[in-house]
Structure 1
Amino acid sequence: MAELVSKTYSEALFEVAKEEQMIDSLQAEFEFLVSSFNDYPEFFEIFKTPKIAFGEKKKIIQEIFGDKISESLLNFIYVILDKKRGADILEIKAAFDQRVDDYKGVAKVTVETVVPLTESQLSEITEKLALKTGKQVVLEAIINKALVGGMVIKMGDQVIDGSVKYKLEGMLEGLTQIIV
C-alpha cells in the first residue's frame, strides 16, 4: 500500500515539475524539506502525527518553509497533509527522486567492497555499467568489512553479489544438503 501511495504522489509531483520546467529546483526544495525532518526529528513527528489538525500543520509549514520553497511544493505538502499522508513523505521523496533519475537517464549504483577501490577501478566499473544500462552511472563506493572479499553491486532492484561471504554461504548450504 505504501508503495502505491508513494508512486501515486511522486508521479503527480513529477508531472507538475515537468510541466512547470522546474524538475531540478523542485527536487532540491524537496531535499531541503526532507533534510529538515532528518535534522529535527521532533518536527517530523509533528508533521506526520494525526493528532495535530491540518490547519495547524499548514500554519507551521507556512511559517517555516513559506519563503524557502516554491508554491508548487508548498501546495503539494498541503495535499499530503490534507490526505493524512505525512508519514509517507520520505517514501514519496525517494519515489520522486527515482522518477527524476529515470527521466534524466541516471542510474545510481552502490559498490560494496572490503577495501577501498582505486579511481581506475571505480572508473572501469562505471564505464561497464554505463555501457550495459545505457544510462549515466552515479557510483557510490561503500566499505563493508563483513564481505570478507570480492564486491557487491546494487543498482535499483538488481544485486550482483560477487562477495566471498556469499560464495562461502553457498558452499555451506551445498554441504549441508549432502546426505550421508
Structure 2
Amino acid sequence: MAELAEKIYGDALFQSALEENKLEQVKAELDALTAVFQAEPAFLAMMDSPAMDAGDKQKILKETFAGSVEEILYNFLRILSDKRRMGLFLSIADQFGALYRQHLGLLEVEAVTAVAMSENQKQKLRDKLSELTGKQILLQNSVDASILGGVILKYNNQEINGSVREKLSALRHQIRGVIA
C-alpha cells in the first residue's frame, strides 16, 4: 500500500513541477530537503505524528518553508502533512528522482567489480550501455572482491550477473547434473 502512495504522490509532484515549468528548481529543492530530512529524521517523524495538532504542523511548515522553497513544493509538504504522509517523504523523493531521470533520458547503473574500474573502463562501459539503451548512463562502480572477476550490472531493479563466481556456480550445477 505504501509503495502505491509513494508512486502517486511522487508522480503528482513531478507532473505539477513539469506543468508549471519548475522541474529543475523543484528537483534541486527536493534534493536539498532530502539531505536535511536524512540528517534529521526526527522532523519527519514529528510531522507525521498523530500526537501533534494539525494546526501546529501547518504553522511549523509555514514558518520553516513558506517563501524559502518553490510554492509547488511548499504546498506539497502541506498536503503530505494533512494526509499524514510525511513519513513517506524520502521514498516520494526517490520516485520523483526516478521520473526526473527518465524524463531526461538518464539511466543509473551500478557496476559491481572485484577491483575498482579505471576511468577508461568506466567510459567504455558507459559508451556501450548508452549505445544499447539509447540513454545517457550515470555509472557508479562498487567493489566486491568476492565476485572474483567480471561484472554485475544493476539498474531499474534488475541485475545482470556476469561475475566469475556466477559462471563457476553455473558450471558446478552443470557438472552435478551430468554426474547425478
TM-score (norm 2): 0.89
Match of 2:134 in 1: 134
| Partner SS for 1:117 | coil
Q: Tell me the residue number matched to 2:69.
A: 69
Deviation string, structure 1 residues 39-81 (Cα, Å, up to 9, x no partner): 1122232133332222222222222233431111010011111
Q: Map of 1:99-118 to 2, 5 A cutoff?
A: 99-118=99-118
State the shift of 1:97 in Å: 0.6
List per-residue Cα deviations over 1:9-44 (Å, max 9, x = no partner). 111111111111111110111111111111112223
- State the shift of 1:152 in Å: 0.9
Partner of 2:166: 166
Q: Which moved more, 1:131-140 or 1:170-179?
A: 170-179
Residues 78-131 of structure 1 show CA distances to partners (whole Å, capped at 9, x for unaligned) of 111111111211111111111111111111111111211111110111011111
Aligned to 2:93: 93
Separation in 2, partners of 1:172, 1:59: 64
Where structure 2 has 5 or more consecutive residues not aligned to the other structure, the ranges are none
**Counterpart contact for 2:109–2:139, Cα < 8 Å:** yes
Could you tell me how far apart the structure 2 residues matched to 1:178 and 1:50 are?
62
Return the letter of the residue paired with 2:151: M
- The code of the aligned residue for 1:162 comes to G
Query: Percent sequence identity over matched residues?
Result: 33
Q: Is the 8 A contact 1:9 1:92 kept in 2?
A: yes
Please give the root-mean-square deviation of Cα atoms over the aligned residues, in Å: 1.9
Which stretch shows the higher mean deviation, 31-40 or 52-61?
52-61
- In 1: Cα distance, 2:177 partner to 2:61 partner: 58
Residue 28 of structure 1: aligned partner: 28
Q: Secondary structure at the match of 2:69?
A: coil
Structure 1: 5+ residue stretches without partners: none
User: Do 2:10 and 2:95's aligned partners in 1 also have CA atoms closer than 8 Å?
Assistant: yes
Q: How many residues align?
A: 180
Give the residue type in structure 2 aligned to 1:153.
L
